Amino acid sequence: MTYKIGEIIKGKITGIQPYGAFVSLDEETQGLIHVSEVQSGYTKSIHTLLKVGQPVTVQIIDIDEYSKKISLSLRTLEKKVPSIPYRRKRYFTNKNKKIGFATIEKQLPIWIKEALVELDQKESRK
């Protein structure tokens, strides 16, 4: 059978390793779901999520044209979780003290003088 990237197909898990799960797509073809493609976020143990013999619906995300290895994903088929209202992080700033760019404004002339002194010293060594 000919498979294409992006195709969604049904298969059966035939083996599980710490790095991923092997899926039988048909009598002759197997693919691999890498541990990073099992779910969104961190997967501590793939064994807690998948079992040998479990039927799965997967999406083909890559096919190596030379080795004919098929990469599969469960993650791409996850339903989008409704987003929780975003709480803006608050960073400490001190608006009342009016600092920030003002310190750069004060420091800049000092930096320029230091740079010019170094440049003069380099020129005098030549």
Question: Residue 101: pLDDT band by 50, 70, 90 thresholds?
Answer: low
**Is a pLDDT exceeding 80 seen at residue 104?**
no
Give me the long-range contacts of 25-32 (CB less than 8 A, separation at least 24): 25/1, 25/70, 26/1, 28/1, 29/1, 29/3, 29/70, 30/70, 31/58, 31/60, 31/69, 31/70, 31/71, 31/72, 32/69, 32/70, 32/71, 32/72
Question: Residue 106: pLDDT band by 50, 70, 90 thresholds?
Answer: confident
Please tell me the predicted confidence (pLDDT) of residue 87.
65
Please tell me the predicted confidence (pLDDT) of residue 107.
82
Single pTM value for the model = 0.61
**Is a pLDDT exceeding 70 seen at residue 2?**
yes
Residue type, 110: I
Q: What is the pLDDT of residues 28-78, one digit of tens each?
A: 899 999 999 998 888 888 999 999 999 999 999 999 888 889 999 999 988
Beta bridge partners of 60: 72
